Amino acid sequence: MEFSIRTLSPETAKTGCVVLGVYTDRELTAPARRVDQKSKGALRAALADLSGRLGSTLLLRALPGVAAERVLLVGLGARKEFAEAAFRDAVRAAATALRELGAKDTALFLVDLKVAERTLSWNVRHAVLVLREAFYRFDELKQKKSPALSLERITLPLPPAAALAQALAEAEATADGADLARTLGDLPPNICTPTYLAEQAKKLAREFKLDVEVLERRDMEKLGMGSFLAVTQASHQPPKLIILHYRGAARSAKPVALVGKGITFDTGGISLKPAAEMDEMKFDMSGAGSVLGAVRALAGMKAPVNVIGVVPTCENMPGGHATKPGDIVTTMSGQTVEILNTDAEGRLILCDAMTYAERFKPDVVVDIATLTGACVIALGHVASGLFSNDQKLADEVREATDDAWDRVWQLPLWEDYQEQLRSNFADFANVGGRPGGAITAASFLARFTRNLRWAHLDVAGTAWRSGREKGSTGRPVPLLVRYVLRHAGRK
């Protein structure tokens, strides 16, 4: 799929399909009005069959006075209500219709619509991200593949400008990163193992000339990562701690560290999960996937930043060697933890990974984890949970998410919650009971990040979809990329 920015007229564009927007009450957008004039009212005549309801579509062929083979009309809803979500819905509806067509190329005359307070760069980024998301397929493991997409080229009809070219490059790289995260998430847990993730990181390193390091079990033992090792000890798959360095800025610029939970399958361990929907615990490496995806995106667009991806990855299995509820382990930080529930394993691998990340003297650390079912109960599948020990950082992340339309909601990290982690036998326990489960999980991590400016994203509700549309979403790659770019001063 190739995108380009070029000045075009909707009536003379020689393309397989011209996409035009129509608001409710048959209110035409400027390019639609122009096509209507050139076609001597043929467009307006066809509008009897289009409601203008957001996401509705109507395909017209061989419109008189129009060079394109097809005109695809897309309902935009009421003009007064047209904002970010509506723009994305309209582009998605266009993508769904375009999938079914034989057109090889198309010109998207939706891209210059006024979207609330957003700039054209925002429109370009979101048009590309939504289209790429809509055309994503995961059928490599099916004998019968879905038919190949005939669409090869998409023109965004806008006057060329440096800012727009940059937005396009950023969006395409972000889409590549989100694609990678989705593919890793969708891959089954017998293929996407810790070793596989390490191989993918090495592949990224070769392709984008990054430095990569993969720590093995014996390295972790030497480092004293008793907590991480407790999670992996019943698995037949070797654990890995992957470190990826992307250097796009001066050596003196402190890096942003992204730390992703990489449980390639979470059975719960001895605190075994129920059978129903356990397959979805293959997505428990989504945080890791989003870190690899974000690094790929930033390296792909040659972003002027230093980023370190840190990915602790292993399986959480039951077995004769498994950690038992009541076991006490010593973390790399020296703090001891009573493991009361082996299913609260994400925090056990993340805490050692974040202690390890301290050696890179990062400016900020952001961890991304499918950490708690409680976060899904609190925020559903719309917002990821945001926690931070630094309000300025939390605000920066929140602003980036508005921009990326990959949204988060902040929850408190007050000391009051630490009480729930009290243990009679160790420094603290790894679980704090059901009340505020997403917050006590974050509070556990906070005990390992006292020396860091740190934010935690709980993506348990947003990293994948269940049911008929089951699959990875690629979130929060767009958010991470936007955050890092804004952090480096790019708007």
**Site residues for ligand BES per CB under 6 A:** 266, 284, 341, 343-346, 370-374, 376, 431, 437, 460
Q: Which is nearer to Zn ion, 451 or 466 (CB)?
A: 466
CB closer to Zn ion, 238 vs 373: 373
CA dist., res. 225 & res. 366, Å (int): 20
Applying CB under 5 A, does 266 fall inside the site for Zn ion? yes
Residues 6+ away with beta carbon under 8 Å from 128: 3, 156, 168, 171, 172, 175
From the list ligand BES, Zn ion, Mn ion, none, partner contacted by residue 376 (C-beta under 5 to 8 A by kind): ligand BES
Is 218 an annotated catalytic residue?
no
Q: Is 266 in the site for Mn ion (CB under 5 A)?
A: yes
Quick check: helix, strand or coil at residue 260?
strand
Verify binding: residue 315, Zn ion, rule CB under 5 A.
no
What string marks each residue from 335 to 364 as x (binds Zn ion by CB under 5 A) or -?
-----------x------------------
107 binds, among Mn ion, Zn ion, ligand BES, none (CB under 5 to 8 A by kind): none
- Binding flag, residue 343, Mn ion (CB under 5 A): yes
d(CA 486, CA 491): 6
The residue among 303 and 378 lying less far from ligand BES, judged by its C-beta, is 378
Site residues for Mn ion, 291-330, by CB under 5 A, read none
User: DSSP states of 442-482 as a string?
Assistant: HHHHHTT-TTS-EEEEE-TTTSEE-GGG-EE--TTHHHHHH
* Spatial separation of the C-alpha atoms in residues 27 and 76, rounded to whole Å: 10
Residue-wise burial string across 21-45, b where 16 or more C-beta atoms lie within 10 A, e elsewhere: bbbbeeebbebbbbbbebbeebbbe
Nearer to ligand BES by C-beta: 374 or 485? 374
Q: Which residues of 290-328 are buried (b: 16+ CB within 10 A; e: fewer)?
A: bbbbbbbbbbbbebebbbbbbbbbbbbbbeeebbeeebe
Task: Select the binding partner of residue 301 from Zn ion, Mn ion, ligand BES, none (C-beta < 5 to 8 A, by kind).
Answer: none
Active-site residue, 273 included: yes
Mark residue 459 as left, alpha or beta (left: phi above 0; alpha: psi -120 to 50; beta: remaining): alpha
Among the listed residues 34, 347, 398, 482, the single catalytic one is 347
Catalytic option among 273, 453, 465, 486? 273
Cα separation of the two ends of the chain? 26
> What, of Mn ion, ligand BES, Zn ion, none, does residue 113 touch, CB below 5 to 8 Å by kind?
none
Q: Does 478 bind Zn ion (CB under 5 A)?
A: no
- 170 part of the interface to Mn ion, by CB under 5 A: no
Where does this chain bind Zn ion (CB under 5 A)?
A: 263, 266, 284, 346
**Residues with a known catalytic role:** 273, 347
